Amino acid sequence: MAKKKWKKRKRKNVRFVAVVLGVLLMMIAFVLSLRGLSTPFADQEQNDEAKTHQQFIDQLAPYAKELQNGYGVLPSIILGQAILESNWGKSTLASKYNNLFGIKAFGDQKKVNLETKEFVNEEWITIQGDFRVYDSWEQSMDSHTQLFVNGVDWNPALYEKVLTATNYREAAQALQEAGYATDPSYSEKIIQVIETYHLDQYDQ
């Protein structure tokens, strides 16, 4: 009798283990199926973003080449700054007021007052600033190039080194030295954008 009872217990244990293993396998299969479903969606989002980024570049690149031919400014710098300053044309300043480069307004220039971040005394602060308003992105690109060509009232040659730079690294460093932005890593960020999206191909 003892042997028969032991055999029955053994069969029950085997069945229990089999059920547990079956449940575990089903759970694993379910989790894997969810991962399989989510991956294509994630890939699609990345593809859509890359497509949108390329469309932004394609929209600006031809006119950037025209400005290079006319004034010598490198298209990679124009495109890199536009991407960095406007967040791919999605910032309020760019999308609503066509200002791609965060160019400030002075005097009676058409302007809008918006919040902006500045790096002052080793920290980021939020301030209000007056920014130029343009009728189109091309007009914004024109103004940006003219800033390099004509400088500012107190220093017409402020951005001369940007125009005479032989490559985007020199131009980005010249922008930093001229004080285009208060961000201490501004030149590094421009260079990173240019190299990530191979914007120097438009300099040829």
Residue 25 has pLDDT above 80, yes or no: no
% of the chain beyond a pLDDT of 70: 79
The topology (CATH level 3) of 56-98+136-202 is Lysozyme (1.10.530)
Residue 145, Cβ density class (10 Å: 0-12 exposed, 13-18 middle, ≥19 buried): buried
39-65 pLDDT, tens digit per residue, is 554 566 677 788 899 999 999 999 999
* Residue range 88-136, pLDDT digits in tens: 999 999 999 999 999 999 999 999 999 888 888 778 888 799 999 999 9
- What is the phi/psi pair of residue 31, to 5°? -60, -45
pLDDT digit string, tens, across residues 126-161: 879 999 999 999 999 999 999 999 999 999 999 999
Mean pLDDT over residues 169-192, rounded? 96
Q: Are 106 and 133 within 8 A, CB to CB? A: no
| DSSP 8-state code for residue 104 | B
Task: Specify the pTM.
Answer: 0.76
- Show me where the domains of the chain are located: 56-98+136-202
Say what the alpha-carbon torsion angle 159, 165, 169, 175 is, to the nearest 10 degrees: 0
- The pLDDT assigned to 28 comes to 64
Q: Looking at the predicted structure, is the pLDDT value of residue 179 above 60?
A: yes
Helix (H, G, I), strand (E, B) or coil at 47: helix
Q: How confident is the model at residue 78 (pLDDT cuts 50, 70, 90)?
A: very high
User: Residue 31: its pLDDT value, please?
Assistant: 54
